[in-house]
Amino acid sequence: MPASVADSDRIVAQFEVRYRQFLDEEGSPLAPLPDFCRDVDLMLSIYRGMHLARAFDAKCVNLQRTGRLGTFATSLGQEAIAVGVASAMRASDILVPSYREAGAQIWRGCRMEELLLYWGGDERGHAFADPAVTQDFPISITVANHALHAAGVAAAMKLKAEDRAAVCLFGDGATSKGDVYEAINVAGVWQLPLIFMIVNNQWAISTPLERQTAALTLAQKGIAGGLSVLQVDGNDVIAVRDAMMEALDAARRGAGASLIEGVTYRLNDHNTADDSSRYRNLEEVKARWRFCPLRRMRAFLESRAAWSEKRELAMQAEIASLIDSAADRYLATAPPLPDQMFAHTYARLPAGLMAQRVEALGRAHE
């Protein structure tokens, strides 16, 4: 740049991205803890919620491997984000999830057998029975477009002057798609009661983070849209919950939308049809277990004499029993009739498809 041009330049805007972490990898506090940490029962519930998410995840993988579930997207290592987010929300808020948020969905009231039905290819799994979650959105398999749905939900909330917010989760890969940028833009312009949570697990299937963006952080992608941004340790459930509570409070006060980047790591394959050993170093994965969110939270609880090996084993047995019962209910559910393939697409089924529907039902009863 010529000196004459450089001399004429002046700074017109400056930005920063802050990073939030309360617990180190060994569960020791690095800073004064939020007030909610004084609630021991809440802390124990959060720890249990993360364990339940991990055990459910493992059960789903086992069911898929034995031919009793469809392809399943695992969330091993990401439990602190799902539970941290959900535990900060009110029942009246609306969750707009991606496909790794079983921990959040279960916390909010989705039944495990409903999630199993969905992953088993049955759309009835999205007909949530608990009234507390009937307004939550279904699992979004398509990457990023549900961010626009969340913006629409938040816009409706604002128009109705409702005291609630929408929360949308998506992975690092989604931030490379236009849908997310469009949603960020409208959320900022309209000051929507909306929180975007980026689950940065370092991998968009087989594409590492450094090959999909040159940005120093993913959080900074919200700055251009005028959103409040923050990066948090996504393996520190206290940091995740604290950041979400802050963002939700701002949204309800009319202070606009936020974007939070939770930095974590995907400890398993992308899904049960993937083999991550083909594209990433297994030693890297092994090293990441040191940052396990469950290990960290357990150490924190034990340091406060709030947990023990006896309680750990009892909790694991209780969770295993709950999950096994849910799996039994799922496996005992009669498959849907073939006419279900014609449902939920048209308000009024075209004549050609109506004839096919009648034929499919007839064959089912032969």
Q: What pLDDT band is residue 266 in, cutting at 50, 70 and 90? A: very high
pLDDT tens digit string along 100-157?
999 999 999 999 999 999 999 998 999 999 999 999 999 999 999 999 999 999 999 9
Q: DSSP letter string over 274-327? A: --GGGTS-HHHHHHHGGG-HHHHHHHHHHHTT---HHHHHHHHHHHHHHHHHHH
Identify the weakest region by mean pLDDT among 4-8, 92-96, 247-251, 282-286. 4-8
pLDDT tens digit string along 156-168?
999 999 999 999 9
Contact 237, 22 (CB under 8 A): no
Indicate whether 241 pLDDT > 80: yes
Q: What pLDDT band is residue 336 in, cutting at 50, 70 and 90? A: confident
pLDDT reported for residue 213: 95
**What distance in Å separates the CA atoms of residue 113 and residue 330, rounded to the nearest whole number?**
5
pLDDT tens digit string along 32-56?
999 999 999 999 999 999 999 999 9
Displacement of CA 311 from its chain's centroid (Å): 28
**Amino acid in position 239:** A
pLDDT reported for residue 338: 83
Q: What pLDDT band is residue 5 in, cutting at 50, 70 and 90? A: low
Q: What pLDDT band is residue 363 in, cutting at 50, 70 and 90? A: confident
Identify the weakest region by mean pLDDT among 173-177, 244-248, 360-364. 360-364
Region 320-332 average pLDDT = 98
**What distance in Å separates the CA atoms of residue 366 and residue 353, rounded to the nearest whole number?**
20
Indicate whether 75 pLDDT > 90: yes
Indicate whether 355 pLDDT > 70: yes
Q: What pLDDT band is residue 365 in, cutting at 50, 70 and 90? A: confident
Map residue 125 onto helix, strand or coil: helix
Q: What pLDDT band is residue 206 in, cutting at 50, 70 and 90? A: very high
pLDDT reported for residue 364: 73
pLDDT reported for residue 4: 59
Task: Please name the helix (run of DSSP H) or strand (run of DSSP E) that holds residue 249, with its range, or none.
Answer: helix 237-252
**What distance in Å separates the CA atoms of residue 286 and residue 154, rounded to the nearest whole number?**
40
pLDDT reported for residue 1: 52
Question: Which value, in Å, is the radius of gyration of the alpha carbons in the chain?
Answer: 22
Q: What pLDDT band is residue 252 in, cutting at 50, 70 and 90? A: very high
**Residue listed under structure tokens 């002046």:** 10
pTM: 0.93
- The crossing angle, in degrees rounded to 10, of helices 79-88 and 40-65 is 130
DSSP secondary structure code for residue 18 in this structure = -
pLDDT reported for residue 339: 82
pLDDT reported for residue 345: 81
Indicate whether 362 pLDDT > 60: yes
Cα angle value 155/158/164 (rounded, 5°): 105
**Amino acid in position 82:** A
**What distance in Å separates the CA atoms of residue 171 and residue 81, rounded to the nearest whole number?**
11
Contact 129, 112 (CB under 8 A): no
Across the chain, mean pLDDT equals 95
Indicate whether 2 pLDDT > 60: no
Q: How far is CA 112 from CA 22, 57, 292, 323, in A?
A: 31, 11, 23, 7
The residue that leads in pLDDT, 30 or 2, is 30
Indicate whether 193 pLDDT > 60: yes
pLDDT reported for residue 316: 98
Indicate whether 31 pLDDT > 70: yes
